Chain A
Amino acid sequence: MLCQRCNQKEANVHITKIINGVKTELHLCDECAKQSEDINVNFPINFGMPMSFQNILDGFVEMLGGAPKTYEEEVCPVCKMTFNDFRNKGRLGCGRCYSAFSQKITPIIKRVHGNIEHTGKVPARTGGELKLRRDIQRLKEELKIAINKEEYEKAAKLRDEIRYLESKLGTERGE
């Protein structure tokens, strides 16, 4: 008897299943049997079919009122990918795509991570200036809070620190 799945090799695994009184028989070869779900019934958990990011992405785009696929769309100036390419592949073309499709991609990122602000590691060499800017931004927010709370002494300290960092930013840029 030939394997019912590949129709090429000799069937040497025979399975009889009775579900709700309905009997079905399956005759498979070694290879096909290994891949068959019917045999792995004793397996505790099957992670066999996870949702891929592409699967979920399309749902997000639709839910967020994304463009229909025929929409005239933006093209990334560096890699020439379009937003629809991203939608189909689930992968962006290059780092520049993030700003090229910013409007559409930011809500998706927010859905995935619940956040759109990186708070982790900053690359040491390219990140020096970025790190300074982020520190300044953070201090400015603290300054706002301090002023609102009428904590003027603290506010004065924060202001001095911001000035200091801003002057440092100037020297880093070679100004």
Chain B
Amino acid sequence: MAWFFSKSSDEGIVLTSRIRLARNIDGVPFPHILDKDSAKKVVEDVTSAILDSNSAISKDFDVINLKDITLNERMSLVEKHLISKDLINRSDISAVMINKQKNVSIMINEEDHIRLQVIYPGFKLKEAYELASKIDDLIEERITYSYDTRLGYLTSCPTNVGTGLRASVMLHLPALTITKNINNIINTINQVGLTIRGLYGEGSNALGNVYQISNQITLGLSEEEIINNLIAVTNKIVEKEKKAREMLLEKQSVELEDELYRALGILKYARSISTQESLELISKVRMGVEMGIIKDVNVDKLNELFVNVQPATLQLLEKRDLSPKDRDIVRARLIREKLN
């Protein structure tokens, strides 16, 4: 979980930068209609393209066949943003390669044959793309991609065709959410070819005031243009979040201080707490620390909790399956131990 534990820049507003490239193998049907034997060959071809290459990167990767790990282990990888739910839905044929630093994951037989992802802490989209493109070149040395001169990289869903690139930033926007300014931002973002979603992508809520912003258009713009657009819009949103925080501090400093310390109080002393509530409260405390209101809490601890309180990761840490009620009790204990 290197990406989540690292200190982030931009006063912590940009949590992570992520690049995902969708690629397919020429002449092979896409995973959703692929028979088991061919799917197995796709896994073999992609893994050996990385492992047998003479690159320094190749030694860093572990290969995990999804069918070989438990449901909890799979879900925990989703909670850590290393794989997608779609990969789990195809667990009988899917695999993932994850590097030691846990910032590169290569999903095999997801919606496309290859979904290469690089995730960096902080605001580092260009660096993340550079690494992704390098690994992409490495795979292409041995695998012939499905590629068309006119349409670019061909993908299972036409919404990804062209660059196959999804660039995204994960933003922590508590002040914009509290002041309800987030609704304007959501509307504006949709008008400039970007999309905004909750913590776990499509269909998820903005848990813990965390939002994901990514490009929607993948064809007709170059990778550089797509990334630059996202950077420009992200800079504006970060600026707005900072303004909203200043405004809150100016106009309602006592109310704000009270709310943030109450959040810390609940986290420190609760005996049972849901994922949703804990993420909301962690978000508030994090904002308090970043604004210099709360002084004796370490942001790294909050980052760690943000991942560890989630159901599957929590159960993995406890090394046993828990009922929802027991999970809430264990979660509260875990948070108390971390913060007291």
Contact = CB atoms under 8 A, between A and B. Distances in A.
B33 A81 contact: yes
A114 interface: yes
A44 B182 contact: yes
Interface stretch (A19-27, A65-73, A119-127, A167-175): A119-127
B91 to A, nearest CB: 18
A108 B161 CA distance: 12
A113 B147 contact: no
Given A90-B157, A120-B165, A114 B182 contact: no
B26 A113 contact: no
A108 B157 CA distance: 11
Contacts of A119: 220-222
Contacts of B135: none
Interface string B169-207: 000000001001011001000000000011000111110
A91 interface: yes
Contact of A95 (B24, B33, B209): B24
A120 B152 contact: yes
A147 interface: no
B218 interface: yes
Size bin of chain B's contact surface: 35 or more
Given A94-B28, A114-B217, A114-B220, A45 B206 contact: yes
B162 interface: yes
Size bin of chain A's contact surface: 35 or more
A15 interface: no
A6 B147 CA distance: 49
B54 interface: no
B73 interface: no
Contacts of A125: 140-141, 144
Contacts of A118: 148-153, 162-163, 219-220
A46 interface: yes
Interface string B219-244: 11111001000000000000000000
A100 B39 CA distance: 23
A91 B32 contact: yes
B148 A79 contact: no
B156 interface: yes
Contacts of B133: 121
Given A78-B27, A121-B163, A53 B205 contact: no
Nearest to A125: B140
A138 interface: no
Given A94-B29, A119-B221, A48 B156 contact: no
Nearest to B21: A121
B157 A53 contact: yes
B159 interface: yes
Nearest to B220: A115
A1 interface: no
A50 B226 CA distance: 23
Given A44-B206, A92-B158, A109 B33 contact: no
A115 to B, nearest CB: 3
B145 interface: yes
Contacts of A109: 151, 158, 161, 219
A108 B158 CA distance: 8
A91 B180 CA distance: 37
A94 B30 contact: yes
B309 to A, nearest CB: 15
Contacts of B209: 44
Interface in A103-143: 105, 108-109, 112-127, 130, 133-134
Contacts of B100: none
A144 interface: no
A84 to B, nearest CB: 14
B203 A50 contact: yes
B204 A47 contact: yes
Contact of B27 (A30, A47, A94, A124): A94
9 contacts: A44-B177, A48-B203, A78-B27, A81-B33, A95-B147, A116-B150, A117-B150, A123-B147, A126-B147
Interface of A: 30-31, 34, 40, 43-50, 53, 78-79, 81, 89-96, 98-99, 105, 108-109, 112-127, 130, 133-134
Given A91-B156, A112-B219, A124-B140, 5 more contacts: A79-B29, A93-B33, A98-B151, A118-B151, A125-B144
Interface of B: 24, 26-30, 32-33, 111, 133, 136-137, 140-141, 144-154, 156-159, 161-163, 165, 177, 180, 182-183, 186, 197-198, 202-206, 209, 217-223, 226, 274, 324-325
